[in-house]
């Protein structure tokens, strides 16, 4: 932990270079350099998400202000607060809200943020565990909650999780299995079958048909689903849903198009439930983190695995993440 009374902090700062290139370097900043927001937080951990990797490497149009401290997640302790909602010493977690894109984020020893962006961290979750869960796990819980609000209970039938080896998919498999659902995991990685079964998957699903456009209606197979892929996969998923089934859709790893028809919706009453984690209402966030505390098997975090990096290691790790050289979670300790 850095000296919280010191005026100096370390942060990874993105600056715009020639021809709109992105320059990433660890810099010493003054606390006075931080944004003028009501709550100052000592950051214990952050984590590297795909969006962070795009921002740090300059591979995607993520950064909306220069200079920028990236990091869309953070967990830590309140050092100073001009808000009635939080007091000094409160443990907090932050996900989304454009932090790490248009607002300074978690790759710093301290950060100033708006109180409405923060969620009290449940007593049973440490800062490190919170970032091992991260936006991916929080999004997975939002998907589970969406299915349950729609009445998709464990006795309705099998639930399919697409992109099941990813961050959202892995946590969704484990959460649904823990809650008593029969979980089927869609993956294009046959070598991941044992891993998915350890998380609780009852069946492993694969096949060339998932890359092909389905008929308007296929054989009914799924009572509910969590989809992180989009495109052809989501189209087939909709065509295979049971009558009155529901899909919680939160990702577009396979593309943002949807080559489907209205047939599943008007002939089978299928619901497509959009799940957004970035701007989700605060009360839903609080509920999601409370549910993660009570419902998420802690051994899942060990199965997924994580590696802790210092700020100086972040740029190289971001490049490796985009090159698909990384397995497990990448945590960032800005005080290392």
pTM of the model: 0.92
Query: Is 113 found in the same domain as 139?
Result: no
Query: Is 217 found in the same domain as 250?
Result: yes
80 lies in a domain?
A: yes
Structure tokens at 330: 């990448």
145 lies in a domain?
A: yes
Residue at a domain's end among 274, 296, 319: 274
pLDDT in tens, the chain (336 residues): 455 656 899 999 999 998 889 999 999 999 999 999 999 999 999 999 989 999 999 998 899 999 999 999 999 999 999 999 999 999 999 999 999 999 999 999 999 999 999 999 999 999 999 999 999 999 999 999 999 999 999 999 999 999 998 889 999 999 999 999 999 999 988 888 999 999 999 999 998 899 888 999 999 999 999 999 999 999 999 999 999 999 999 999 889 999 999 999 999 999 999 999 999 999 999 999 999 999 998 887 877 777 899 999 999 999 998 887 877 789 999 999
38 lies in a domain?
A: yes
Interatomic CA distance for residues 120 and 130, integer angstroms? 11
| Side-chain half-sphere exposure of 228, counting CA atoms within 13 A | 26
12 lies in a domain?
A: yes
Contact status, residue 174 vs residue 299, Cβ threshold 8 Å: no
Query: Is 321 found in the same domain as 254?
Result: no
Contact status, residue 14 vs residue 63, Cβ threshold 8 Å: yes
- The pLDDT, as a whole number, for residue 333 is 98
Residue at a domain's end among 235, 258, 274: 274
- The pLDDT, as a whole number, for residue 4 is 61
Query: Is 217 found in the same domain as 98?
Result: no
Provide the residue range defining the domain that includes 266.
135-274
312 lies in a domain?
A: yes
299 lies in a domain?
A: no
Interatomic CA distance for residues 323 and 309, integer angstroms? 18
Query: Is 267 found in the same domain as 314?
Result: no
Query: Is 139 found in the same domain as 117?
Result: no
Q: What is the CATH number of the domain that holds 184?
A: 3.40.50.720
Query: Is 143 found in the same domain as 106?
Result: no
**Of all helices (H) and strands (E), which one includes residue 282?**
helix 282-295
- The pLDDT, as a whole number, for residue 189 is 86
Interatomic CA distance for residues 44 and 53, integer angstroms? 20
Query: Is 263 found in the same domain as 145?
Result: yes
290 lies in a domain?
A: no
**Is 153 buried (19+), middle (13-18) or exposed (0-12) by CB count in 10 A?**
middle
3 lies in a domain?
A: no
Query: Is 96 found in the same domain as 152?
Result: no
Query: Is 321 found in the same domain as 232?
Result: no
Tally the domains of the chain.
2
Query: Is 188 found in the same domain as 232?
Result: yes
Query: Is 169 found in the same domain as 101?
Result: no
Residue at a domain's end among 253, 274, 295: 274
Contact status, residue 250 vs residue 227, Cβ threshold 8 Å: yes
Q: What is the CATH number of the domain that holds 108?
A: 3.90.180.10
- The pLDDT, as a whole number, for residue 266 is 98
Inter-residue long-range contacts of 120-125, CB under 8 Å, 24+ positions, other chains counted: 120/90, 120/91, 120/92, 120/286, 120/289, 121/75, 121/91, 121/92, 121/93, 121/289, 122/289, 122/290, 122/292, 122/293, 123/293, 124/293, 124/294, 125/93, 125/289, 125/292, 125/293
Q: Is the peptide bond before 223 cis (omega within 30 degrees of 0)?
A: no
């Amino acid at each position: 932990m850095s000296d919280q009374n010191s005026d100096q902090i370390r942060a990874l700062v993105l600056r715009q270079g020639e021809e709109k290139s992105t320059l990433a370097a660890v810099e010493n900043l003054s606390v006075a350099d931080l944004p003028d927001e009501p709550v100052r937080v000592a950051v214990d951990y952050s984590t590297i998400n795909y969006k962070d990797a795009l921002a740090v490497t300059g591979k995607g149009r993520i950064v909306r202000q220069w200079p920028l401290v990236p990091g869309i997640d953070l967990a830590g302790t309140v050092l100073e607060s001009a808000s009635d909602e939080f007091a000094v010493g409160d443990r907090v977690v932050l996900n989304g809200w454009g932090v790490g894109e248009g607002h300074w984020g978690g790759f710093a020893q301290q950060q100033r943020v708006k109180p409405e962006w923060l969620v009290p961290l449940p007593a049973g979750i440490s800062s490190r565990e919170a970032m091992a869960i991260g936006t991916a796990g929080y999004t997975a819980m939002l998907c589970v909650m969406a299915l349950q609000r729609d009445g998709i209970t464990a006795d309705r039938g099998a639930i399919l999780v697409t992109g099941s080896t990813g961050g959202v998919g892995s946590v969704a498999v484990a959460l649904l299995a823990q809650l008593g659902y029969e979980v089927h995991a869609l993956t294009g990685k046959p070598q991941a079958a044992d891993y998915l079964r350890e998380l609780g998957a009852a069946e492993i699903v694969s096949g060339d048909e998932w890359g092909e456009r389905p008929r308007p209606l296929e054989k009914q197979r799924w009572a509910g689903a969590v989809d992180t892929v989009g495109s052809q996969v989501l189209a087939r998923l909709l065509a295979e849903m049971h009558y009155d089934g529901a899909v919680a859709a939160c990702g577009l790893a396979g593309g943002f198009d949807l080559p489907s028809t209205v047939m599943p919706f008007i002939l089978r009453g299928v619901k497509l439930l959009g799940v957004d984690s970035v701007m989700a209402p605060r009360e839903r966030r609080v509920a999601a983190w409370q549910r993660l505390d009570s419902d998420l098997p802690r051994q899942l975090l060990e199965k997924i695995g994580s590696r802790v990096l210092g700020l100086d290691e972040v740029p190289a790790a971001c490049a490796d993440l985009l090159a698909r050289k990384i397995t497990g979670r990448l945590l960032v300790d800005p005080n290392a």
